[in-house]
Structure 1
Amino acid sequence: MSIQKHTIVWEGIEIELTYDPAAWGGVIAHLEVRSINPDCAPLPITETGYLSHYHPCGTVEENKGTLAEQVTGWLDKEAKSKTWKMYLEDCRQLRLF
């Protein structure tokens, strides 16, 4: 299986997905999520705008939806967390300290 690259836009942030369904000779699958516009923009799944995620081979393929749909669903779910909501609120407020 070959490495897949996808670009999605979530909440106005352009995100690049790089997925290797059989990394290291098929031992494990690897997904990289990287915000590219704006560069390094925080996401609900990573404060730095970059996430390297290893998981068992076949996990993405066994779930419903495309890779892009699954990652979008993951972002949507994590965007409901208290941590992400607090981050957004902090961004809206001017902080002096």
Structure 2
Amino acid sequence: MSYQTYEIEWQGIRICVRYAPVKWNVISHIEIEAIEPARAPLPVTPTGYLSHHIPIGSVEAEFDNVEDCILSWLDERAQSTEWREHLEKSAQGELF
């Protein structure tokens, strides 16, 4: 199993993406980790880290590359109510 490693930036957050197109000959694997700021929350993971398995070929069937796939996924999930609430709370700060 061989991983491809990429660094992308999304809304000011540097992200490391590790992608194994074929893992165990049955599935693909994506790891996403916010590296600057370290472990910053992302729309797909509040901890800044995500390990995700997907069917083989699903990235390639829909996107030109894994970077575009991850950026699209982040943009899509950033529209969620949960992420919008997170941004609002982050901008205001919390008193308690």
TM-score class normalised by the smaller sequence: over 0.9
Q: Provide the alpha-carbon RMSD of the alignment.
A: 1.1
Separation in 1, partners of 2:12, 2:63:
24
- 1:44 Cα deviation after fit: 0.3
The match for 1:78 is 77
TM normalised by structure 1 equals: 0.93
CA deviation after TM superposition for structure 1 residue 80, in Å: 0.8
In structure 1, the residue matched to 2:35 is 36
CA distance in 2, matches of 1:88, 1:12: 13
After superposition, the C-alpha distances for 1:30-87 in whole angstroms (9 at most, x for unaligned) are: 0001100111000000000001110111111111221101110110011111100000
- Letter of the 2:6 partner, please give it: H
Note the residue ranges of structure 1 that are not aligned, 5 or more in a row.
none
Q: TM-score, normalised by structure 2?
A: 0.94
1:57 counterpart SS class: coil
What is the distance in 1 between the residues matched to 2:69 and 2:60? 10
- How many percent of aligned residue pairs carry the same amino acid? 45
The offset of 1:94, in angstroms, is: 2.8
1:8 paired residue number:
8
Equivalence map 1:12-91=2 (5 Å): 12-24=12-24, 26-91=25-90
Where does structure 1 differ by over 6 angstroms across 4 or more consecutive aligned residues? none
**Is there any run of 5+ residues in structure 2 with no aligned partner, and where?**
none
